[in-house]
Structure 1
Amino acid sequence: MAGVSGCLKYSMFFFNFLFWVCGTLILALAIWVRVSKDGKEIITSGDAGTNPFVAVNILIAVGAIIMVLGFLGCCGAVKESRCMLLLFFIGLLLILLLQVAAGILGATFKSESSRLLNETLSENAKFLTQTTDEAKEFQKAMISFQEEFQCCGLVKGAEDWGNNFQEAKDSCKCTDATRTQCTTYQGNSVNSQTCLTSIKDLVEKNIIIVIGLAFGLAVIEILGLVFSMVLYCQIGSK
């Protein structure tokens, strides 16, 4: 009868031990942020219009899943437990299938997501002309964004700011030496590119990064599936 490969066995253990440690750290950090006074102050110091605990709860779930899978992989390799290895294989396979499904849905609804982004930003453009506290917070964020990405307004350019343009004109100021990216509004040279275009470009660049990370993670998961199944079969043929 064939024996179990020691190299494969301990490689599987080491990989899943690191996996388990990462899951434990994520879970511990998320729980600390969720229950400690200092952690609550950190996550509630941002935008009051969103639920700050949603991301923390997601991290708790992710950390717990990674921790359980790492434990199953470690114990399954060391104890040569076919049951644990099979559970590890099933759990990792489900995660991989969810990633594939998310990728297919993302590709299918790419045009829809672009339309929703356009509608959302067009709707938010109204905050640039208002004077409410909520609008002022949005305007501060927009001014910072305009300064960083050298754009002006959301949909129609500087015109979006209305009577509030004087507060934003410095961030809209065009510094292009060739003047090809400049236009004139109320006697001021401002960037002709709208922030809607900059935001869409930024989203597209980040999507490419996310796709790359997801692909790399999928390769690691497939290797984990192969190693766990090989080890499972070797244990069964002992």
Structure 2
Amino acid sequence: MKFVSKSLERIAAITTTNDIASDIKFKRKREKLMAPLRWGIASAGRISFDFANALSTLPEVDHKIVAVGARNLTSARDFAKKFDIPKYYEGYDKLVKDENIDVIYIGSIVATHFEIGMLALEAGKHVLCEKPLSINEKQSRKLFETARAKGLFFAEAIWSRYFESYKYIRQRVDNGDLGEIKEIELEFGFPLADTERLFLKNGGGSTLDLGIYTIQLSLWVYRTEPTKVTAFGKLNDDGLDMEFTGEYKFPNGGISHDNLTITKSDSGEKKSSVEKIRNNISDHHQSPSLQPIFIVQNYFNHPARKFSTKATNTDALIREGKSQQTSREPSSHSKMGNSDVGSCCAKYILCIFNFIFFILGSLVLGLGLWLLFDKNSLLSLMKSVNSEHIERFTEPKLIDQTVYLLITIGVLMFVLGFLGYCGAMRESQCLLSLYGVFLIILLVLEIVVFVFAIAYQDVARDETESFLRSTIKEYKSSGKEEDAVSLMWNQLMAQFQCCGVNSYSDFETSSFWVNNKGSRTIPEACCQLSDKTLIKPLDLNCPYSPSDINSYYMRGCQPALVEFFRNNSNTIIGVMSGVILIQLFAAFLAFCIS
């Protein structure tokens, strides 16, 4: 399963880049259509050497290498000297900002393709990027979206797509000369030495490094995506896929088999690439300079000019101001390995949920800050409503406590909403990781409280009783003398139909109540009420002569709360579990996207 998941992720990264170029009209064409296409080479490695060498075989009136950039200055200088390139840079920032460059060719290791590609596109440069385009689908999508938004040419340099032999195969398939294609067999492999391509962090591995050739051919022939992918193979100690075998089943019943390997061999013998389209056609890439095609009836042979065809095609498309529409194949912006669908759904679910959370948090925080800095204006507004029910809750200390509660809740919602929304929209690993960690911390705290309340019910009951007894000592009364503590107690008793902690006698611990109760035996809130907000007793004599009929003076609030939680335990557990599951789901989506 470990190998399959890794393989599917890499396959999704490859197939997402199946468009050779996006089908858009470029916003700007070359100002001088007769001027040479000015190239900037990103990286001074072997593949860049081959490409620069190919460019040197083309007429200077059509192509010109203006500058090269590499990770270190020495490599860039040596590369420039080999090809008489006038400028060289350390790094890629200055390269992409060079105003004399039209298009950037990226020949660096795959792990850096996304970073350099984005730098070039943001700098307004066209891009021809070596295969594979990136290390995952998310990065590939971002590159294409940026190119479309800026109206720039962007293509993946799958060199075999530029071969005349591929055009010949396409023509024969489209004309129906080969009948219906039922099966494709693909083999590609050779032993690699200890190079950067053998490191997982650099985007190495058989699937991503070599699979780009075989997988893209299957999609190119069938012109659709597989409905089922089965994969297995061999990982080394670092988790790098050294060998890969895959089977793809397509909607028309067609099948494709892949066998890839980068396993080292002591003899150094290379395993040739073989591509068969059963039973009609075989494409043997035995030589980089010749691609013979074997047909039952005919033999077709056409010389391939290595990398130069990529350059000439790029030049033609940029001059015309359009993409390579004739080579466009079905995109994998859905289904493949469930990678894209899952990522897209996760992104928009997080965006919508956290945008709502962000707006609500902003409103709550704004209300809290308004109360903090301009409490009187809100009090005036509340009093202007001329409602006794609202005016009862304008007690200054209650407002102060509400302010801090609103600000705390608002800040929490604001931060969570911001991290989740911006992280999902920008697909920022940093923001989404912070969001996920934040949720997990809250989740742990909630679970601790939840478990404590269930496992230590006696302790929780004792703590609740202790809190109630400490606050009832501050109780005053209802009406004009009512403060925040009294308001809390009156609402508690009114809503839960109770009196005191265990009975009405608990109010005797409040010195203010004892000194100011007059002839009352119990507070008005202990009576049966006609209005629970305004605390109006049904029986006006109840505070003076309480009984089991007109009051709840013998039913304490502490046992009433215990009874309430016991009777509603299933609902409370269900709600808490739902909240926890939502948080877990949100954290899971965040980590999936990041």
Instruction: Verify same fold: TM over 0.5.
Output: yes
Q: Compared with structure 1, are the counterparts of its residues 139 and 65 closer, same or farther at alpha carbon in structure 2 (3 Å cutoff)?
A: closer
C-alpha displacement of 1:20: 1.0
Alpha-carbon offset, residue 44 of structure 1: 10
Highest Rg: 1 or 2?
2
Give SS of 2:439's match.
helix
Offset, 1:92: 1.0
**Aligned counterpart, 2:592:** 230
> After superposition, what is the alpha-carbon deviation per residue over 1:173-229, rounded to whole angstroms, capped at 9, x for unaligned?
8xxxxxxxxxxx9xx672274265256415753785766544332221111011112
Cα pair distance change 1:17/1:118, threshold 3 Å: closer
2:353 aligned counterpart, secondary structure: helix
CA distance in 2, matches of 1:137, 1:70: 32
Structure number with higher strand proportion: 2
> Which range is displaced more, 81-90 or 201-210?
201-210
Equivalence for 2:235: none
Structure 2: gaps (5+ residues):
1-9, 13-136, 138-339, 383-390, 509-513, 529-541
Correspondence 1:88 to 2:460 = no
Structure 2 vs 1, CA of residues 44 and 76 (structure 1 numbering), >3 Å: closer, same or farther? same
2:556 is matched with 197
Q: Does the CA-based 8 Å contact 1:8-1:231 persist in structure 2?
A: yes
Structure 1 residue 47 displacement after superposition: 4.5
State the match for 1:98 in structure 2.
445
Counterpart residue number, 2:414: 67
Structure 1 match to 2:583: 221
> Which residue of 1 is the match for residue 460 of structure 2?
110
Alignment of 1:51-200 (within 5 A): 52-107=399-454, 108=456, 109-117=459-467, 119-120=469-470, 123=473, 155=503, 164-165=519-520, 190-191=547-548, 193-194=552-553, 196-198=555-557, 200=559
Q: What secondary structure sits across from 1:98 in the alignment?
A: helix
Label 1:227 to 1:54 Cα distance change in 2 as closer, same or farther (>3 A): same
Q: State the partner residue of 1:27.
A: 365
Number of residue equivalences? 214
**Partner Cα distance (1:216, 1:204) in 2:** 23
Partner residue in 1 for 2:346: 8
Q: CA deviation at 1:153?
A: 7.4
Q: 1:57 to 1:189 in 2, by over 3 A?
A: closer
Q: Quote the Cα distance in structure 1 between the aligned partners of 2:412 and 2:472.
A: 39
Question: What are the ranges of 5 or more consecutive residues in structure 1 without an aligned counterpart?
Answer: 174-184, 233-238
Residues 130-169 of structure 1: CA deviation (Å, up to 9, x unaligned):
xxx8599999998998887766777357x97986138979
Superimposed CA distance per residue, residues 43-71 of structure 1 (whole angstroms, 9 cap, x where no aligned partner): 996446x4642331232122122212212
Q: Please name the residue that 1:178 is paired with.
A: none
CA contact (8 A) 1:14 1:74 kept: yes
Seen in structure 2, the aligned counterparts of structure 1 residues 195 and 30 have a Cα distance that, compared at 3 Å, is: farther
- Give the stretch that moved more between structures: 116-125 or 220-229: 116-125
Percent sequence identity is 24
Give the Å deviation of 1:87. 0.7
Counterpart-to-counterpart distance in 2, 1:165 and 1:46: 26
Q: Deviations over 1:65-124 (max 9, x none)?
A: 221221211222122211111011011111111222333444533132243156347757
- The CA distance in 1 between the partners of 2:398 and 2:494, in whole Å, is 28
Label 1:211 to 1:59 Cα distance change in 2 as closer, same or farther (>3 A).
farther
Secondary structure of the structure 1 residue equivalent to 2:547:
strand
Q: State the TM-score, normalized to the length of structure 1.
A: 0.65
Contact 1:72 1:85 in 2 (8 A): yes
Structure 1 Cα separation of the partners of residues 491 and 392 of structure 2: 21
Partner AA of 1:194 in structure 2: Y
Q: Given that residues 368 and 406 in structure 2 are in contact (C-alpha distance below 8 angstroms), is that contact kept between their aligned partners in structure 1?
A: yes
Query: Does 1:38 find its partner at 2:377?
Result: yes
Q: Distance in 2 between matches of 1:56 and 1:137?
A: 13
Change (3 A) 1:87 1:38: same
Seen in structure 2, the aligned counterparts of structure 1 residues 52 and 211 have a Cα distance that, compared at 3 Å, is farther
Is the 8 Å Cα contact of residues 521 and 546 (structure 2) preserved in structure 1? Answer: no
Q: Contact 1:23 / 1:65 at 8 angstroms: preserved in 2?
A: yes
User: Do 2:500 and 2:556's aligned partners in 1 also have CA atoms closer than 8 Å?
Assistant: no
Q: 1:193 to 1:231 in 2, by over 3 A?
A: same
| TM-score normalised over the length of structure 2 | 0.30
SS of residue paired to 1:190: coil
